[in-house]
Amino acid sequence: MQERSSSAAGQPAIVARDLRRRFGAVQALDGLGFTVARGELYGLVGPDGAGKTTAIRALAGLIDLDGGEARILGLDPARDGAVRERLGLMPQQYSLYRDLTVGENLRFFGRLATLPAARYRERAARLLALTRLAPFVDRRADQLSGGMYKKLALSCALLTEPEVLLLDEPTNGVDPVSRRELWALLHEFVDGGMAVVISTPYMDEAERCHRVGLVHHGRLLLEGPPGRLLADFERAGHARPTFEELFIDSIGRAA
């Protein structure tokens, strides 16, 4: 994957600076920080409970932070409602309406974004074609397979063609073919200038990102383009390393 730098494209589209948030005894975010440029796909990679979902929610302005700041396109997502006009989110859990059809779900989110009818039709048709959901437009969401459901959720998030897209474990529970299709779809939009943060527990998916941040206990252990991270790790004496080995090694050194 080609490396892209957040500084190269001017002001970062996404800024997470020293994010802190505690839930009871759990420090979900413990000074997490990273930036993402326009046209960059940034992967937040880490195991369950690492703080990925909390980080995505903080970037979307859906939780109050104990410390640090999040900025989307220079705006505070927790305070400035204008952010939501330019932001797309695909939450980790099933977030669509299961008793609505594919078409009705898309239409609903199109109407929430007050898309003009012609633009909605054009975008919906394109997304349905890209995701190959067109034949299922009248099928209820609760009758879709896991992969189809995720593609629909992604389509709903992409309908407004947001400048910033936040995806929380979009490939969780999705078959390999659908995963490949989802990534291909994402890259098509990122190539158009969209800034994307994607969280995933799958280490193999890190290689599909321009840059990755390895997250553990709400902190960034390691960050950089996946190829360079692996090359550095190999130079440190690990033959043909995988991301999983790199991650486990990083946790061990952090402890």
Partner 1 sequence: MTGSRLLRSLLRIGAMAGKEAIHVRRDPRTLGLALVMPVVMLFLFGYGVSSDLDHIPLVFADQDQSEASRALARAFDGSGEFTVVGRPAPEGVEALFRGGVAVAALVVPRGYQRDLLLGKRAEVQLMLDGADPVVGNQVLAKADAIARVESQRLAGAAFARLQPPLQVKVWTRYNPEGRSALYMVPGLSAFLLAITAVMLTALAIAGEWERGSMEQLFASPVGRLEIVLGKLLPYLVLGLLELLLVVAFGALVFDVPIRGSLPLIMLFGLVFMAGMLGQGLFISVVAKNQLVATQAGALSAMLPAIILSGMIFPIENMPLPLRTISRLIPSRYLVHGLRGILLKGNGLDVLWPDLLAMALFAVAILGLATARFKRRVA
Question: What is the binding site for partner 1 (CB under 8 A)?
Answer: 23, 54, 57, 60-64, 81, 84-85, 87-89, 91, 93-100, 104, 108-109, 111-114, 156, 166
Least distance from partner 1 to the Cβ atom of residue 215, Å? 18
Least distance from partner 1 to the Cβ atom of residue 62, Å? 5
Residue nearer to partner 1 on the CB measure, 48 or 99: 99
Least distance from partner 1 to the Cβ atom of residue 255, Å? 27
Residue nearer to partner 1 on the CB measure, 82 or 254: 82
C-beta separation of 68 from 17 below 8 A? yes
Residue nearer to partner 1 on the CB measure, 167 or 212: 167
Least distance from partner 1 to the Cβ atom of residue 227, Å? 32
Encoded tokens for 171: 């490939």
Residue nearer to partner 1 on the CB measure, 59 or 229: 59
Q: DSSP string covering 181-197, please? A: HHHHHHHHHHHTT-EEE
Encoded tokens for 201: 């527990």
C-beta separation of 133 from 148 below 8 A? yes
How far from 192 is each of 49, 103, 126, 231, CA to CA, in Å?
32, 25, 15, 29
Taking only Cα atoms into account, the Rg of the chain, rounded to an integer number of angstroms, comes to 18
